[in-house]
Structure 1
Amino acid sequence: MRKVILWTIAAAFLLGVFETAILSHIQLLSALPDLILILVVYIALYNGTVVGITAGFFSGLIFDFLSMAPMGLHSFTFTVLGFLYGMVYGKYNVRRFFFPLVLGLSATFLKAGIILILHVLFGQSIQIYNLFAVSFWIEVAENALCAPLLFMLFGLFPNAFEIKEL
């Protein structure tokens, strides 16, 4: 488990830097895909709730350091998502194109819902998604389209991102 968590932390850092340093400077993108969210979903799906929660917490902590969000916002959000998607562990074959697309789509909506709940609980310091804004729907589409690609990429390294059962 430790090896998967360390690889996840390294991948989350690289994806976070890629997202904030490179993707944020592309003028065509009015919203950015949440690559770390997709990483957490992948790790939770292939390793279960314990690894999903741990990976979600540390990946979110890294993303909190790289972004301007309140400290702990993404950490909490990704931890909850790691738990929820970890509950699906071993139940479905997610190696195809369609299922990762649906997972990327659903994870974005769940993330928006969790952030809305945190906004209600903690007030104005937490920015919520406007479900009627074009930028939100662009992010939903980007996450849905990036999920199958990232799932295939992470699938190339099963020794790093998946715990092998004996």
Structure 2
Amino acid sequence: MKHVILWTAAAAFMLGVFETAILSHFHVLPALPDLIIILVVYIALYNGTTAGLVAGFCSGLIFDFLSLAPFGLHSFMFTVIGFLYGMLYRKYNVRRILFPLFLAFSATLLKAGLLFALRFLFGQGIQVYSMMSLSFWFETAFNTIAAPLLFVLLGLFPSAFEVQEP
């Protein structure tokens, strides 16, 4: 499982840099996709709760360093998401297109709910999504569209992102 976590951390760093350094400069986009959350969902689905927890925590720490969010915010969110989606390990055939669409959609809604709960607990320092804002629904749509593409891309490297059982 160590190599999966190392590859996940490397992929999270590359996706985080891609989001913050490249996609953020496209002023045409009203919101940015959260590619790291899709990575965490993928790792959790194909490796279980333990790998989902560790991958979510490490990916969140990396993204916390790359973003201006409070330190630990993404770590917490991605750890919870990694655990919850890891519970689906070996329960469904997720190699199809519709399942990644649904998972990315639900993960984005879960992320918004977690942010709302954290703001309720910790105050105004945490920015939350407005469920009625256009930018939230654009991010949800971008995540939903990007999920099957990222699932296919990560599926090309099963030895790196999936634990090989003996």
The aligned counterpart of 2:79 is 79
The structural deviation recorded for 1:30 is 1.0
Q: 1:98 — aligned with what?
A: 98
C-alpha deviation, 1:165, in angstroms: 1.5
Q: Report 1:15-30 matches (<5 A).
A: 15-30=15-30
TM-superposed deviation, 1:58: 0.5
1 CA distance for matches of 2:133 and 2:112? Answer: 13
The whole-number CA distance in structure 2 between the counterparts of 1:131 and 1:61 is: 26
Match of 1:50 in 2: 50
Quote the offset at 1:161 in angstroms. Answer: 0.2
* 1:4 aligns to 2:15 (yes or no): no
Structure 2 alignment gaps of length 5 or more? none
Give the AA of the match of 2:51: V
What is aligned with 1:64? 64
Quote the offset at 1:164 in angstroms: 1.3
What residue number does 2:88 align with? 88
Q: Deviations over 1:83-136 (max 9, x none)?
A: 000000000000011100000100000000011100000000000000000000
Kindly report structure 1 stretches of 4+ aligned residues shifted beyond 6 Å.
none
Partner of 1:155: 155
Q: TM-score, normalised by structure 2?
A: 0.99
**Deviation for aligned residue 1:28:** 1.2
Q: In structure 1, the residue corresponding to 2:126 is in which secondary structure?
A: coil
**For the residues of structure 1 that align with 2:129 and 2:68, how far apart are their CA atoms?**
15
In the TM superposition, residue 27 of structure 1 has moved relative to its aligned partner by 1.5
SS at match of 1:29: coil
Q: How many residues align?
A: 166
1:39 and 2:17 equivalent? no
Q: Deviations over 1:53-95 (max 9, x none)?
A: 0000000000000001000000000000000000000000000
Structure 1 gap ranges (5+) = none
The sequence identity of aligned pairs, in percent, is 69
Secondary structure of the corresponding residue to residue 101 of structure 1? helix
**Partner Cα separation in structure 1 for residue 76 and residue 158 of structure 2:** 26
CA distance in 2 between partners of 1:116 and 1:49 (Å): 24
Shift of 1:48: 0.2
CA distance in 2, matches of 1:104, 1:89: 16
Q: How far apart are the structure 2 equivalents of 1:103 and 1:164? A: 23
Whole-angstrom CA distance in 2 between matches of 1:46 and 1:164: 10
**What corresponds to 1:124 in structure 2?**
124
For 1:35 and 1:48, how far apart are their aligned partners in 2? 19
**What is the distance in 2 between the residues matched to 1:132 and 1:63?**
26
Supply the AA of the counterpart residue of 1:120. F
